[in-house]
Amino acid sequence: METPKRPSSFAQYKTLLAKDLRQEFRTREMLVSMGVYALLVIVVFGVALSFARPGEEFLEVSAGLLWALIVFTSLLGLNRSFSHEIEEGCLEGLLLAPLDHGVVFLSKATSNMVFLLIVEAIAIPLYWLFFSSLAHPAETGWLMVAPILVGSVGIAGIGTLLSTITVNTRGKDVMLALLFVPIVFPLLYACVSATTAAIVGGDLMAESFMVSLALAAGYDVIMILASWVLYDFVVGA
Amino acid sequence: MKEKAREVKLPESGQWPDRIAPVVLGAGIVLSTLGFLLAFLWVGPVYGASVDGVELIGGSMVSQMLLISQKIFYFHMPVAIVSFIALAFAAYYAIRFLMTKEQRFDSCSQVAMEVALLFVICTMITGEMWTRFEWGVWWTWEPRLTTYLILMLIVIAYFILRNAVDEPERSATYSAVISIIALIDVPICFMVTRLIPSSIHPVVLREGGMTADMGICLAVCLLGLLCVGFALYRARFNQLRLSQRVEAMKQTLEEQQ
């Protein structure tokens, strides 16, 4: 009698990721709440900017506002990403299975990133739609896809580690924000800079777009490696 | 000695550094007072911020001028260095804790972080005085200021996290992870804010290099504050370990009854 073959790490990763995606697409719990929340933040921005004069100056602020929207929305999503794992006792089951904890981290980070990207794909066109009357982005505006991708990868990576930590704490929503915002600050700064450069265009673009993007990518690599290594301790604690 | 050998598991305290700690504290007090006096009485006044021509910073015109506020520098920089060293030690002990899972290293890490918090707050206060009197504004988003603000926020979040977890083992692991992440994050933060060109803020250039008397004064202050930091660390560590020891003794007594 032959012993059953142990599934490869990639197969485990695919299974875990498929589980997260299937659960989400059946309930649509997280996507709906994140999407509606993003819309509400846009409404708040609309009120905040209701007395702003239309003009090119708005472009310099708009990338920052867009990233504020992304940060708040992703905080909401990250908070929820682990709560139902805990509620149903799913996490304990996962830890009992003979899995490498790094695989759990990667699959969770990927699913968080997928949800974040889906919400961004809805929210950013909406953002443009509501505020296009104030100013028009430069021709290089489409390049902002790059910082948004890089930023989402970083947010999902470090955010997964932090949300695993905070899901076991008292007052977890506030705790996640307290840890997440300062730690993600460098990434946010670089991404805002790159996005502003893309939207404004011109000299600023040539000067800072690539530098900012490279720094953001460097942050991603370092932080995801660190989170991957540290995740083993966190999830087992 | 025999009793100690029997109760191996009790948290121990009072190693050799505790014996030299009072001496170091004394040395620290003397040296930092000496540095304070040197800064005001011995080292000559220095040209402060040297701006390209005359520049408007935060509503006031600034050019080269003799500044008494430059004296803050002799405390600001050593305090900042000590805070960073404390943070590095916190992360080092955090790694040791994750490797061994010994409560002792967690206490080391926690106390180093407490010292770091104290010195970071001192850095922020002296830095605020510096920006106010030299640049004429309370706050600018300059790389060093931003980095220290972020560092302070992470350290504060660290302590809130510590108190928000009930199980001691879990709280220790989480705080260890956060202190390692903090040590990685802070240099990146500095690099990012520094390397990205910003067209909004005026570039404030400092006069390069220090004269010999400035260097000596700075070294005295740095040495003094390092001693103070070390002594504070040992005092708090000793106190924490003793309280843990009392707790452990209480538990063993209860178990024996």
Has residue A150 got a pLDDT over 90?
A: yes
Average pLDDT over residues A192-216: 84
User: Measured between beta carbons, which residues in chain B are less than 8 angstroms from residue A170?
Assistant: 164-166
- Per 3-state DSSP, what percentage of chain A is helix, strand, and coil (rounded to 5)? 85, 0, 15
Percent of chain A with pLDDT over 70: 98
Sequence-ordered list of residues with C-beta below 8 angstroms from that of A235, at least 6 positions apart, any chain: A91, A95, A101, A104, A105, A164
Rg (CA), chain A: 19
A32-56 confidence digits (pLDDT tens): 989 999 999 999 998 988 887 777 7
Domain B20-245 = CATH 1.20.120: yes
- Per 3-state DSSP, what percentage of chain B is helix, strand, and coil (rounded to 5)? 75, 5, 20
Closest-approach residue (CA) in chain B for A213: B196
User: Measured between beta carbons, which residues in chain B are less than 8 angstroms from residue A57?
Assistant: none
Q: Mean pLDDT for chain A? A: 87
Q: Which residue has the higher pLDDT, B131 or A63?
A: A63
A131 near A49, Cβ under 8 Å? yes
Per-residue model confidence (pLDDT) at position B234: 87
Q: Among candidates B60, B49, B172, B152, which has minimal Cα distance to B110? A: B172
Confidence of residue A204 (pLDDT cuts 50, 70, 90): low
**CB pair distance less than 8 Å for B161 and A219:** no
Has residue A230 got a pLDDT over 80?
A: yes
Residues lower than pLDDT 50 in chain B: 1-8, 49, 51-52, 64, 199-207
Closest-approach residue (CA) in chain A for B187: A186
Closest-approach residue (CA) in chain A for B161: A175
Has residue A223 got a pLDDT over 90?
A: yes
Per-residue model confidence (pLDDT) at position B113: 93
User: Measured between beta carbons, which residues in chain A are less than 8 angstroms from residue B173?
Assistant: 233-234, 237
All structural domains of chain B with their residue ranges: 20-245
Interface ipTM: 0.86
